[in-house]
Amino acid sequence: MAIETAHRVFAAEFQRASAPSLSPGNQDGGVVTPTGLCCRTLFVAGALTEVQDDEKGLFVARLSDGTGVFELAWYGPHPALTAAVEHLSLPAFVTVIGKAMLPAQDGRQVFIRPDEITPVTRAVRDLWVISTADETAKRLETPSSLDRDGVRELAALIGRVLNLVQPPDLATLVEEDPTDVLTRILEAGDQKGMAVADLTVAAEEAGLSTTVIEQTIMAMLAGGDCYNPVKGKIRLI
């Protein structure tokens, strides 16, 4: 089974995505963004500002990343997603892994159908911003459907959102970085990836709390240091 990469993209670019040219029989082709990124699975982060549901079981949420807003939508029941958002005090920083969707007929803009919503810290959101800015800047250097004004506009948005990133608290860097602890454990484990549950147990034995472990894993994913080769496993890049 092929591993599908979860791509990072800013809302300002995702909002302008379009349908790709589909080959016969391909009904789930994802979207193509103006910089030429073809993606089905996304990994995004930002401030969850609104969650609504109706009597038909449709949930709609809004996630702001500093460049624009991602629309999230899913039909219930989805216990994991509902549990993830029902106790949040909005606005709240979260990461989202989900599928890029482009309705064919109802005229709605592109949206994300989330598979996972995870509460995170601002530091994790900032790592995602930095990583996404780097990937977007690289795409801007290659030919795409954007004209010169479009490139300048997106580059300016990247600059503005990077200004929102807070510098790290140096006081938290005195003790060993939890990222180094998890990296060391992953390097010593199976090179094909380690179960998140096993990583958590090993990290707890190394002295990290469950909360720190969860936040560090999300930070490493957001920063592009590791990825999920399959659900429930994590592997270093």
For CA atoms 225, 234, 63, 114, give the dihedral sign. positive
**pLDDT number for residue 99:** 92
Give the pLDDT score at 168. Answer: 61
Sites in the chain below the pLDDT cut of 70: 1-4, 21-29, 104-108, 167-176
Rounded CA-CA distance 189/12 in Å is 39
Domain segments of the chain as ranges: 6-120, 170-236
pLDDT tens digits along 28-46: 557 888 888 888 899 999 9
Rounded Cα–Cα distance for residues 224 and 128 (Å) = 8
CA distance linking residue 237 with residue 185, whole number of Å: 14
**Which residues in 216-232 are b (16+ Cβ under 10 Å) and which e?**
bbbbbbbbbbbbbeeee
pLDDT of residue 14: 93
Architecture of domain 170-236: Orthogonal Bundle (1.10)
pLDDT at position 11: 93
Domain 6-120, architecture per CATH: Beta Barrel (2.40)
Whose tokens are 């702001």? That residue is: 64
CA R_g for the chain: 18
Same-fold call for 6-120 versus 170-236:
no
**Percent of the chain residues topping a pLDDT of 90:** 20
Q: Which residues contact 67 (CB under 8 A, 6 or more apart)?
A: 10, 11, 12, 13, 157, 158, 160, 161
Residue 24, pLDDT score: 41
